């Protein structure tokens, strides 16, 4: 029971604090109040920065994290108590290869569980508003479902850590059923980046400020390539490159005019550059974007050497 004058922790407070804590495990309540005054709910202001109910709550969530282990990379031996369909295992095994080639973090055990659940929805997204060569449609669909699985998995992760009872994902289910989930997510990403006005907090990844940036490729691909697997300096450079791409209407048009698989190639090449050149200065970003759009068109910069065609998924 809450002490007099101190409000009980609402689900909004729990999930907000846990989401911030998930990105910054070392942060105290004082840090959260100081760094995220707009993100932290007003209820937080009622709590002193010492040993409080929220501090104990965060500590409990750390213990939960140690037990669940669902954030580990998935492999075919990961889900001993949760069955996956053979088709899902096939897709997931290929996706793990793609994630590595795309400089992305692997699919997690939690995401694999949701991928298995959502896989039958893939026809709802078949070639949605795009002209995709038949040999690449399964690549497109596998990434679409993986991105949807990321959205469900992150929601479940935060709810689990926040100890939310009677979870309800019906609004996500409705969007999956209508095929609108990633369309709405793409609009949300565009809106979030527009509201950001091209600004970037020094020394901080954009995804730390707004979770929409985890899916910054969505408006161009209608799916994510997965969270970038690179150090903070490279991740910040990649974020700055995405901001430059969004701000420059000419670059956006150049990229949007390319076929799907060439847009896919562009983002992989941009990730590769950011990962290999974390020290690059901002003045290089626009020339590199133009260079990578050209490289995506002509298959240059070693792209064909990666032999992506052997990874085409056959259902």
Of 161, 225, 147, nearest to 20 by C-alpha is 161
Average pLDDT per consecutive 10 residues, the chain (315 residues; last block may be shorter): 53 72 69 60 49 59 63 83 82 92 93 93 71 81 91 86 83 86 68 51 49 72 90 88 88 91 92 94 93 82 50 49
pLDDT of residue 25: 67
pLDDT of residue 157: 85
pLDDT attached to residue 250: 93
Give pLDDT, residue 19: 73
Q: Given this model, what pLDDT does residue 310 score?
A: 44
Instruction: Locate the domains of the chain by residue range.
Output: 11-65, 86-178, 181-306
Q: So what's the pLDDT on residue 1?
A: 43
pTM of model > 0.85: no
**SS3 assignment for the chain:** CCCCCCCCCCHHHHHHHHHHHHHCCCCCHHHHHHHCCCCCCHHHHHCCCCCCHHHHHHHHHHHHHHHHCCCCECCCCCCCCCCCCHHHHHHHHHHHHHHHHCCECCCEHHHHHHHHHHHHHHHHHCCCCCCCCHHHHHHHHHHHHHHHHHHHHHHHHHHHHCCCCCCCCHHHHHHHHHCCHHHHHHHHHHHHHHHHCCCCCCCCCHHHHCHHHHHCCHHHHCCCCCCECCCHHHHHHHHHHHHHHHHCHHHHHHHHCCCHHHHHHHHHHHHHHHHHCCCCCHHHHHHHHHHHHHHHHHCCCCCHHHCHHHHCCCC
């Amino acid at each position: 029971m809450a002490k007099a004058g101190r409000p009980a922790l609402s689900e909004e407070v729990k999930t907000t604090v846990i989401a911030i804590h998930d990105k910054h495990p070392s942060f105290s309540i004082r840090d959260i109040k100081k760094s995220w005054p707009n993100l932290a709910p007003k209820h937080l202001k009622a709590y002193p920065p010492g040993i409080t109910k929220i501090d104990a709550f965060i500590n409990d969530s750390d213990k939960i994290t140690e037990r669940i282990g669902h954030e580990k990379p998935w492999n075919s031996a990961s889900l001993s108590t949760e069955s996956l369909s053979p088709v899902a295992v096939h897709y997931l095994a290929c996706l793990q290869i793609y994630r590595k080639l795309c400089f992305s973090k692997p699919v997690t055990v939690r995401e694999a569980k949701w991928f298995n659940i959502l896989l039958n929805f893939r026809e709802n997204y078949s070639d949605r508003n795009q002209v995709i060569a038949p040999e690449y449609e399964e690549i497109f669909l596998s990434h679409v479902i993986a991105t949807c699985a990321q959205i469900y998995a992150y929601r479940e992760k935060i709810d689990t850590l926040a100890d939310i009872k009677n979870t309800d994902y019906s609004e996500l289910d409705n969007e999956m059923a209508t095929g609108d989930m990633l369309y709405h997510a793409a609009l949300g990403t565009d809106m979030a980046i527009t509201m950001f006005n091209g600004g970037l907090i020094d020394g901080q990844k954009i995804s730390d400020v707004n979770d929409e940036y985890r899916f910054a490729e969505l408006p161009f691909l209608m799916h994510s390539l997965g969270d970038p697997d690179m150090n903070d300096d490279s991740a910040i450079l990649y974020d700055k490159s995405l901001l430059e791409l969004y701000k420059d209407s000419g670059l956006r048009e150049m990229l949007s005019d390319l076929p799907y698989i060439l847009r896919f190639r562009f983002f992989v090449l941009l990730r590769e550059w950011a990962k290999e050149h974390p020290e690059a200065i901002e003045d290089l970003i626009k020339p590199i974007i133009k260079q990578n759009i050209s490289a995506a068109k002509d298959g240059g910069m070693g792209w064909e050497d990666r032999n992506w065609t052997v990874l085409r998924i056959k259902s």
